Structure 1
Amino acid sequence: MPGLYLAAILLSAAGIAALDARFRLAFWQAPGRSAAVVAIGTAFFLLWDAAGIVTGVFVKGGSTALVGIDLAPHLPLEEPVFLAFLCYLALVAFQGAERVRQGAHRRREAA
């Protein structure tokens, strides 16, 4: 089914965005900084992908779950969307872990 992979990425991103909004972890706390982190991380991984494509390490598979739009040879549309999601997920997970760590530190100080 074409588009299934992209739909799964976007649905997952919506779930992470809901957690982000609920706990104000990234974009809902510092939108500019969060956008910069996601953009820089995505650009880094796209350069990584480009190096892998040029050297022949990365090739696009023949999955029917892809939309079928290639941004470059062996670079499907879903790849930058996935990379942005990966960076966003990492940012939210880090901020969440930092919030938990800070809470534990405050509880130890109060005890």
Structure 2
Amino acid sequence: MGVLYLLFLLASIGCMALLDHRFKLFFFAGAPLRAALVLAAGLAFFLVWDLFGIGLDIFYRGETQFMLGLELAPHLPVEEAFFLAFLCYLTMVLFGLLKVAATHFGRTRSGQAVKR
């Protein structure tokens, strides 16, 4: 049962990838290298954020039977990296969805109507 949280995170990432593939929102929008760099930058930012929070005793590792018990650093469980990757991926997929919706409903980024 210690792997349950990680499995749910992986399933969530997989579902996000399916949505991304179906609607071409982030990785499948035509620039996978750029998407990977954006995702890696977001993941790195939030991991550093977590490390600072842990160092300042703001964040700590909660004990639960649903986690593996492996840590990347003290008080930084391995599941945190997958959660942060999911969070960044979700954000970029939602951003892609907003771009698609704006195009569909006839608005550009500047708020101007799209000429059809």
Shorter chain as normaliser: what TM range?
over 0.9
CA distance, structure 1, for counterparts of residue 83 and residue 114 of structure 2: 40
- Residue 73 of structure 1 corresponds to 74
- Residue 37 of structure 1 corresponds to 38
User: What SS does the aligned partner of 2:28 have?
Assistant: coil
Any unmatched runs of 5+ in structure 1? none
Tell me by how many angstroms 1:93 deviates.
Answer: 0.6
- Residue 27 of structure 1 corresponds to 27
Normalized per residue, the structure richer in helix is 1
Tell me by how many angstroms 1:102 deviates.
Answer: 1.4
Alpha-carbon RMSD across the aligned residues, in angstroms, is: 1.5
TM-score normalized by structure 2? 0.89
- Residue 6 of structure 2 corresponds to 6
Shift in CA distance, 62/109, structure 1 to aligned 2, threshold 3 Å: closer
Cα deviation digits, residues 45-71 of structure 1 (max 9, x gap): 001000000000000001111111111
Runs of 4+ in 1 over 2 A off after TM superposition: 108-111
TM-score normalized by structure 1? 0.93
Any unmatched runs of 5+ in structure 2? 108-112
- Residue 94 of structure 1 corresponds to 95
